A and B are shown apart, each in its own frame.
Chain A
Amino acid sequence: MIEGFTALYIFMLAGFTGYEVISRVPVILHTPLMSGSNFVHGIVLVGAMVAMGHADTGMEKIIGFIGVMLAAGNAVGGYVVTERMLEMFKSSKGAK
């Protein structure tokens, strides 16, 4: 169980980490990076699976099902498009 101040510390440190990691990114990578960070919050899949795994009533199961489906779409789609974009970046020295 993550409670109270421990939770706040995690929140604060992760916030700073995100800011620092991104702050040195060149403009040319902004689109892949937005896509990449979009992929990273696909981790919501893990939560959707847990929520669905504990669903009891029919309604809970249906919403859980939708949740897992959407989350899987976020994770897989985010990965595929980011990978496709980054694959294309080459330097003129490396390419020839």
Chain B
Amino acid sequence: MGALIQLSYLVAAALFILGLKRMSSPVTARGGILWAGAGMVVATLITFFWPGMQNYVWMTLALLIGGGLAWYTGKKVAMTDMPQMIAIYNGMGGGAAAAIAAVELLRGEFHSSTFQILAVVGALIGSVAFSGSMVAFAKLQGIMKRSLVFKAQQVLNLLVFGGALVFGLMLMGADHPGGTAILAFFTLALVFGVMMTLPIGGADMPVVISLYNALTGLAVAFEGFVLSNAAMIIAGTVVGSAGTLLTQLMAKAMNRSLANVLFSGFGSGAGATAEAGPEGAMKEIDATDAAVMMAYAGKVIIVPGYGMAVAQAQHKVWEFAQLLESRDVTVKFAIHPVAGRMPGHMNVLLAEAGVPYDKIYDLEEINNEFPQADVALVIGANDVVNPVARSNPDSPIYGMPILDADKARNVIVVKRGKGKGFSGVENGLFFLDNTRMLYGDGQEVASKLIAEVKQL
């Protein structure tokens, strides 16, 4: 039986890697998750035959409860809420890794001190990923609105982390770790995860979720060493390194270093206050004029942002785009790497509306096309088209790569009100001479535009 179990784990690990590989192209991505899913089923089923196990009834019950709840919530969640859902599932994985470590520490039967050390390190990482992900979820879900920043926060965080480390070292050295030390260790580790995530603003959450994803992978790998489980080691390490790379890519897209994201408390309102408003005034346009402008244009680039998704306007926008195309207008969608709440989030939302992925362009692909575009239609996007990022070194978003919507001949900005963006920075684009503001709810505006173009 032992050999068959190991063989199944080997197959599962191979399926995970092949699955992830297939997920790296839109054509094969669908198959990729099926492959990885098959690997998971094989690994889970064979584990029931692991020698010398007990508690099967409760184990099955736990499986059904956890799996059932996740299945239900996963099927129901709206595409716009995807980031926080990924955060919560990821946190659960970190919590599970920490739970494994807790059970092993309580049993106190480690084969060598190396395993004991790895168990504690994995527990620390897993606990932080667990409680941190829960805070990330609460923030994106809107349960927790404000970033909590107070004086000497870093010092307090450091103290909590230091405390967790001290108890962790005690656990590593102890022959048979005591219950009190274990409890203190896990409590401090969980508290640290919460405190580390509290001061980070909503705009930076994607980077944080991605980081916790990588951390959970690492924690799983460490606990895999403890249990001598090759499937866990390989899958965990692959996710750990892939997640680290993904985190770096995201931080780079926002032009922020990881350290900056974690320790600066950006997006909490600090820094944006002293700024003077841009020159000029915002000029309004109504739907009729906007529709005419685009219907007779040669080329329209649509820049969607999270605001479009919140208004559930993506279907209408795509209908409008198709209408323009039927009038021989070239329509392209330009997506900033951090549009939406995560890199690629906007692509998912557009895909949901039925927009084919070959009409969607990256920042590098589309930016030199803006000067040839007659109209750039900005819907619910703000910071990612703010030219201040190019021009004003004092701005908190200075240096972030942006979509050059301001270089189009005309810019139409669809916006609900005159407020600022997610980062709280005033947008210079709205005050330019070639910019017209079209106020209203994204979906209503899109419906009006469709009606107007149909009348032409």
- Mark A residues whose CB is within 8 Å of B: 1-4, 7, 10-11, 14-19, 21-57, 59-61, 63-95
Contact = CB atoms under 8 A, between A and B. Distances in A.
Given A28-B357, A73-B89, A65 B62 contact: yes
Contact of A32 (B29, B52, B71, B238): B29
A26 B82 CA distance: 19
A91 B20 contact: no
Nearest to A4: B114
A55 B179 CA distance: 15
Interface in B294-328: none
A26 B237 CA distance: 22
Interface stretch (B93-101, B254-262, B402-410): B93-101
| Majority DSSP secondary structure for residues of A touching B | helix
Interface stretch (B240-248, B266-274, B390-398): B240-248
B345 A31 contact: yes
Contact of B356 (A61, A67, A92): A92
A19 B250 CA distance: 15
Contacts of B237: 10-11, 14-15, 18
Contact of B55 (A10, A25, A64): A64
Contact of B54 (A32, A40, A53, A63): A53
B235 A43 contact: yes
Given A41-B220, A44-B96, A53-B50, 17 more contacts: A14-B241, A17-B17, A18-B238, A18-B243, A31-B86, A31-B348, A33-B23, A40-B16, A47-B229, A49-B63, A51-B100, A51-B103, A73-B70, A76-B67, A78-B90, A85-B82, A90-B356
A25 B29 CA distance: 11
B32 to A, nearest CB: 7
B70 A76 contact: yes
A43 B232 contact: yes
B99 A95 contact: no
Q: Lowest 8 A-B CB distances belong to which pairs?
A: A67-B99, A53-B53, A80-B74, A92-B356, A72-B66, A77-B70, A30-B344, A18-B241
B62 A40 contact: no
Contacts of B61: 65
B121 interface: no
| Majority DSSP secondary structure for residues of B touching A | helix
A22 B242 CA distance: 6
Say which size band chain B's interface belongs to: 35 or more
B223 A69 contact: no
Most buried by B among A31, A87, A88: A31
Given A2-B233, A40-B238, A46-B43, A21 B21 contact: yes
Contacts of B77: 81
A42 B40 contact: yes
B241 A16 contact: yes
B151 interface: no
A12 to B, nearest CB: 9
A45 B96 contact: yes
Contacts, number: 396
A70 B32 contact: no
B50 A49 contact: yes
Contact of B217 (A23, A37, A60, A71): A37
A28 B340 CA distance: 12
Given A11-B233, A27-B337, A32-B23, A73 B103 contact: no
A86 B112 CA distance: 43
B32 A43 contact: no
B190 to A, nearest CB: 13
A57 B237 CA distance: 31
Contacts of A70: 66, 92-93, 95-96, 99
A93 B244 CA distance: 34
A91 B342 contact: no
A71 B183 CA distance: 21
Contact of A41 (B26, B230, B235): B235
Given A76-B70, A95-B354, A29 B24 contact: yes
Contacts of A43: 12, 16, 40, 43, 220, 231-232, 235-236
Nearest to B82: A81
A32 B56 CA distance: 34
Contacts of A89: 26, 29-30, 351, 357
A92 B40 CA distance: 32
Given A39-B36, A42-B93, A50-B229, A75 B67 contact: yes
A51 B99 contact: yes
B27 interface: yes
Given A1-B228, A44-B96, A52-B59, A73 B217 contact: no
A83 B340 CA distance: 19
